[in-house]
Amino acid sequence: MTQIKPRKVLEKIKPYSPGKPIWELQEELKLDKVVKLASNENPQGPSPKGVAAISAGLADLHRYPDADTVSLKEAISKKLTVEKDQVIVTNGADELITLISEAFLDQGDEIIVPSPSFSEYDFGADLMGATVVPVPFDEGFQFNVERMIDAITDKTKLLYICSPNNPTGTYLAKAEFEKLLKAVPDHVLVVFDGAYSHYATAEDYTDGIEFVKAGYPILVLQTFSKVYGLAGLRVGFGVAPREVTQTILKVKEPFNVNSLAQAAAIAAINDDKHVEVSKESNATGAQTLYKEFSELGLSYVETMSNFVLVQLGPDAENIYQSLLEKGVIVRYGKIWGLPEYVRVTIGTEEENTFFIEKLKEVLNK
């Protein structure tokens, strides 16, 4: 038995528990077919240009990657028309959330998070001994900007907005976001998580980048794991005022983004066709799921993203389990305090059909 005491704050933290991988479920239940609609991955697969770039980079694997990710930063800054030193590249956006926390949070500081949202924000705060101040959504999981502004204190350091929000699929309208930014005092950094920005189609949606350009104290976070289909490679990035990116660089490991990931991301961000196809398939899939849910009498939250939060009622946990046993992996909502809901990633046409077929079997419809 070891007497080595972990840091006090770790008492609050449990290791991340991922959804079951496909192979595990398949082996466990001897299933022929398993469809995973649990992690909001791109069902179209990776950007083909990204895959090609990886093959080209294999011969140089004996070299360390570019610690400064110069070429990728160039590609990102060109795509988004921001300055290169406004960009920071990380090992997935998850790493960026940890780095932001390490760079800005002292013990006792506060972060404001709409609730329910992405769990990594809380993890970053817990890790640093900071306090999470959750702000519940309004009816229909709509953001309440006034309540977020009211939650700001002298101790607030970070205020998170995930738009479209994971797990609800709802978004914050541009005018509302602007109102928030104007009300936020100087000592607060607004972190805008745009992991699903590409999927948002509402006229009044903003991906936040224009507010970085306008000089607001905001960091916009994006990822290559979702629409670009490169979740297995782990690349994400942030766009923020120069002083913010330079501060975060102080806590970054030198070689955090591997060379294959850098190469693939450069190719993927310019693969407009792959992005277009992915968005179109997602929009069609959303309509299919809406129609089927309506016919089954299930309420759902209209999504601006690549997943749908659907209300299965008091029996949701059993339905979720039965779906698992039939080879469909979705995310059960209890972790977000939504025990009557599951979140289902919009899949390919075939995956959506399989999911609906199994759902009907489980519901005896």
Ligand X SMILES: *Cc1c(COP(=O)(O)O)cnc(C)c1O
Q: What number of other Cβ atoms are within 10 A of residue 160's Cβ?
A: 27
Interaction residues for ligand X, span 295-354 (CB under 6 A): none
- Selected from 69, 101, 225, 352, the binder of ligand X by CB under 6 A is 225
Closest CB to ligand X among residues 235, 359 = 235
Q: Does 237 bind ligand X (CB under 6 A)?
A: no
* Minimum gap (Å) between residue 111 Cβ and ligand X: 15
Tell me which amino acid residue 162 is: C
Q: Does 41 bind ligand X (CB under 6 A)?
A: no
Could you give the CA distance from residue 111 to residue 103 in angstroms, rounded to a whole number?
13
Could you give the CA distance from residue 16 to residue 287 in angstroms, rounded to a whole number?
32
Interface mask toward ligand X for 159-178; x: CB under 6 A: ---x---x------------
Interface mask toward ligand X for 57-96; x: CB under 6 A: -----------------------------------xxx--
* Minimum gap (Å) between residue 231 Cβ and ligand X: 5
Instruction: List the end-to-end C-alpha distance of the chain, in Å, as a whole number.
Output: 54
Q: H-helix or E-strand containing 359?
A: helix 349-362
* Minimum gap (Å) between residue 114 Cβ and ligand X: 11
Q: Where are the beta strands (DSSP E) in the chain?
A: 35-36, 87-90, 110-115, 131-136, 156-162, 189-193, 218-223, 236-239, 307-311, 328-329, 331-332, 341-345
* Minimum gap (Å) between residue 5 Cβ and ligand X: 30
Q: Does 292 bind ligand X (CB under 6 A)?
A: no
* Minimum gap (Å) between residue 197 Cβ and ligand X: 11
With CA atoms as reference, report the closest residue to 71 among 58, 57, 92: 57
- Selected from 193, 207, 292, 351, the binder of ligand X by CB under 6 A is 193
Q: Tokens 């960026």 sit at which residue?
A: 96
Q: Does 223 bind ligand X (CB under 6 A)?
A: yes
- Selected from 104, 118, 199, 341, the binder of ligand X by CB under 6 A is 118
Name the residue with the smallest CB distance to ligand X: 92
Q: Which residues of 221-232 are buried (b: 16+ CB within 10 A; e: fewer)?
A: bbbbbbbbbbbe
Could you give the CA distance from residue 289 to residue 309 in angstroms, rounded to a whole number?
11
Binding site for ligand X (CB under 6 A): 40, 92-94, 118, 162, 166, 193, 195, 223, 225-226, 231, 236
